A = this chain, B = another copy of it.
Amino acid sequence: MRSALVDRPIDAADLLGEIARNANGATVLFVGTVRETNQGRAVSGMEYTAYRSMAECEMAEILREASQRFATKDIVLEHRLGTLRLGEASVAIAVAHPHRGLAYEASRYIIEQLKKRVPIWKLEHYIDGTREWVGAGNVNPEPIAVHRPEVVTEERRAVRKAEIR
């Protein structure tokens, strides 16, 4: 069982290899990719940011839950951060199980929980030059420089730890 935020392309075949065991008869892989349109608007790319440390905790927690509910430890989850082109994978979940029903259910559980709970955000870029935070409404339609909150977060955490000591 492994979950990770990654800053490089996701290799689905690697994930399949990671969970392959002869005790399993079924493997389900889910891959989420950047779509060329969203709600009728032409998309040029997507920028993913996260509250990294918390996102990692939540992802690990979701895998623990799935492992208990669906009785397998052969699960791996990767979510990519940074700037992605059309068609690139933002998330991949591989689940292997002796039986296919539970493999499908575990896979579905993980992606639904991830979308509900894991603090990851995406800034959608459109071919007309505008950009929008998905799910947050059009807070700023002008193309402007993008903050990368997770980087500052790391700095802040260092500050906080220093303050506590």
Contact = CB atoms under 8 A, between A and B. Distances in A.
Nearest to A23: B36
A24 B20 CA distance: 27
Given A12-B13, A23-B35, A24-B35, 8 more contacts: A12-B16, A16-B31, A22-B36, A24-B33, A27-B30, A29-B30, A100-B111, A104-B107
Number of chain A interface residues as a range: 20 to 34
Contact of A31 (B27, B30, B31, B108): B27
A72 B108 CA distance: 19
A75 to B, nearest CB: 15
A123 interface: no
A54 interface: no
A119 interface: no
A30 B26 contact: yes
A111 B98 CA distance: 15
30 contacts: A12-B16, A16-B31, A20-B33, A21-B87, A22-B33, A22-B34, A22-B36, A22-B86, A23-B35, A23-B36, A23-B37, A24-B33, A24-B35, A25-B33, A25-B35, A26-B30, A26-B33, A27-B29, A27-B31, A27-B32, A27-B33, A28-B28, A28-B29, A28-B30, A28-B107, A29-B30, A29-B31, A30-B104, A100-B111, A104-B107
